[in-house]
A and B are shown apart, each in its own frame.
Chain A
């Protein structure tokens, strides 16, 4: 088959480079897609709406129901509210190597959260519930830092995540 690029460039080396560039782009996309599907790695994308002004009236995000809960299959669900300037509840403790599903909602403006050295992260958008699942292989103290500018007190918006060794007791 004749190279369709032949009418565009005279230089055979250049044509080879164009094909290689296309191949590279496709390859990177393919590898990322493969990992996303085979290891089930997806960004938080649940598209679930909620009225942020009435979080306290919902069952899930009412103050008494926030925090860590054990599910029937042994995994955990952590429900949290982000509001200027803190994450509630401010201290979370989970065991190592256990799937943890985080569900978070904002009570006011846009927030974000990430815990350095883990892959726990999401944007927390007023009007929407954020959900992601991860697990923590290494025990230790981690921080939840707000990473979306949310007002003048943004810097001080952070909370504590403690991961305890599963064999040494696990979650309360």
Chain B
């Protein structure tokens, strides 16, 4: 029976995510056209900043949260081979999050929350925007609880056994998100919401930004985690091979769990409200968080090599051609790795204490996170969907060929969009502008990359529509699925006995708390120790 796997719950979550995604891509195309003053009739700062705010909220909060929840629920049941800890509660969390999205959407669509997805105090939004955001986050906390309790229930039923890698990573992500979301939750509950309701007169913008930075870096790892889990636990089998090392996956997940949260100050390098020493401390952690990504790159490419050689590939590079590139999971992994490499180079500049100043808040930054998030992360969301949709619906995918074309288009579109953005950033173009009324000499240099970005945006829109169409048509497919079970990759070496630290979380949670107190304790406390001057709310 399929019932214990709760495919309906997973599908409902993922569909909400992909509908939000399609709407957000449409807005993105409007933005690339509006931004360069090409069509004067389209020009409108209200519409532009409303669109940017909605695009960011839909992509960053709605697509991600629901996709992660859906994938997590299906991973919990299929990898642990047991029902969810509490299915009615999981549905409650889903509806709570949906209500939160609808509540936040109302002020966004009526022009009362054009504060971007990073909230931007002392610009103020209508209180329902903040309440909606809180409900979405609380809904995601229900998911975290489900993941942690499901794992604990399984451990109790299987003493001494090793938690399957897919669920180990998912649980690590749930724990990380609980810590990550505390920053933004504190900002909204203690500062922005009471302030927007008129209960307090002012907010300290320095404190607000410090709390947001707590969330702002690790949230991208919350988004990225499912991609890594698919790399390690789904791709090797789809490529026709094995995972090089189960333990390396665990090590990467643990490092992401511990290091991601206490390093948010690289978003605050240009902020005058934190001292240089703290910024430097956070930078060293930021560099360290590259290590789990480097480990993942090695293990995943090596696993692909194993598969290629098993399929008869010879020589230094012969195995690459032998890989089954007509499998969406394999193709997406290859393309994701390339985009991760490009994006990673840019990321080191952003993360650098002294180099950040040259590109801070320019279009370079937009290019960087569209490569890592829109590229690497989201292309793996597509691959996960293409792999799981047949399992969840019981029907074969509507068209594998269309899926492959869609992935290629997404990759090409993303490069055409983001590489010129890096150039725009080096040429000084600020991000988040709706027009370019600047010195002509400066603006002239931006024209060619801006033309490219429109082409990129249109390619991405076509790709996004192909995805939604393919998934939608799968539900009506007459052909029953050939392999109904999720096939998790086997490691090359079977695990005799997993070290206790790599099969549990207690020690690591303690370590995060120590690291967080060390890196955020004084920087937050200072706002209560010195005389500060808050800001009153400002409308846009």
Contact = CB atoms under 8 A, between A and B. Distances in A.
Interface of A: 7-11, 14, 17-18, 21-22, 24-26, 28-29, 32-33, 35-36, 41-53, 108-110, 112, 114-117, 119, 121-131, 141, 143, 145-156, 158, 160
B206 A128 contact: yes
Contact of A17 (B206, B298, B435, B536): B298
B447 to A, nearest CB: 15
A137 B431 CA distance: 26
29 contacts: A8-B248, A9-B245, A10-B245, A14-B244, A17-B295, A18-B251, A21-B295, A22-B291, A32-B283, A35-B354, A36-B353, A42-B353, A44-B271, A44-B272, A47-B275, A48-B272, A49-B532, A53-B533, A109-B123, A114-B430, A123-B270, A125-B205, A126-B533, A127-B535, A130-B272, A143-B438, A143-B439, A149-B123, A155-B435
Contact of B354 (A32, A48, A126): A32
A134 to B, nearest CB: 9
Interface string B434-463: 111111011000000000000000000000
Given A17-B298, A154-B432, A49 B531 contact: yes
A126 B535 contact: yes
B45 interface: yes
A161 B356 CA distance: 21
A125 B123 CA distance: 12
A26 B533 CA distance: 38
Contacts of B209: 125
A143 B440 CA distance: 11
Interface string B344-362: 0000100011111110111
- For the complex of A and B, the 4 pairs showing the least CB-CB separation, nearest first, are A116-B428, A21-B294, A147-B361, A45-B276
Given A43-B279, A131-B272, A108 B538 contact: yes
B526 interface: yes
B271 A125 contact: yes
A36 B354 contact: yes
A4 to B, nearest CB: 12
Contacts of B122: 108-110, 126
Contact of A25 (B204, B269, B291, B429): B291
A145 B244 contact: no
Interface of B: 45-46, 49, 114, 116, 120-123, 204-206, 209, 244-245, 247-248, 251, 269-276, 279-280, 283-284, 287-288, 290-291, 294-295, 298-299, 302, 348, 352-358, 360-362, 427-439, 441-442, 493, 499, 502, 526, 530-536, 538, 540
A47 B273 contact: yes
A68 to B, nearest CB: 20
A124 B348 CA distance: 24
A35 to B, nearest CB: 6
Contacts of A29: 283-284, 287
B128 to A, nearest CB: 21
A24 B289 CA distance: 12
Q: Which of A7, A128, A155 has the most CB of B within 10 A?
A: A155
Nearest to A26: B287
B47 to A, nearest CB: 10
Given A25-B291, A126-B533, A155-B433, 19 more contacts: A7-B499, A14-B248, A43-B356, A45-B274, A45-B275, A46-B272, A47-B273, A47-B526, A48-B272, A50-B533, A53-B536, A110-B120, A110-B121, A110-B205, A114-B357, A127-B533, A147-B361, A147-B432, A149-B123
Contacts of A32: 283, 352-355
A121 B442 contact: no
Nearest to A124: B272
Contacts of A128: 205-206, 272-273
B45 A155 contact: yes
A125 B430 contact: no
A29 B502 CA distance: 28
Contact of A123 (B271, B354, B534, B540): B271
A112 B360 CA distance: 10
Contacts of B493: 10
Contacts of A124: 272
Contacts of B538: 108-109, 151
Contacts of A108: 122, 538
Nearest to A151: B540
Given A36-B280, A43-B270, A45-B276, A127 B532 contact: yes
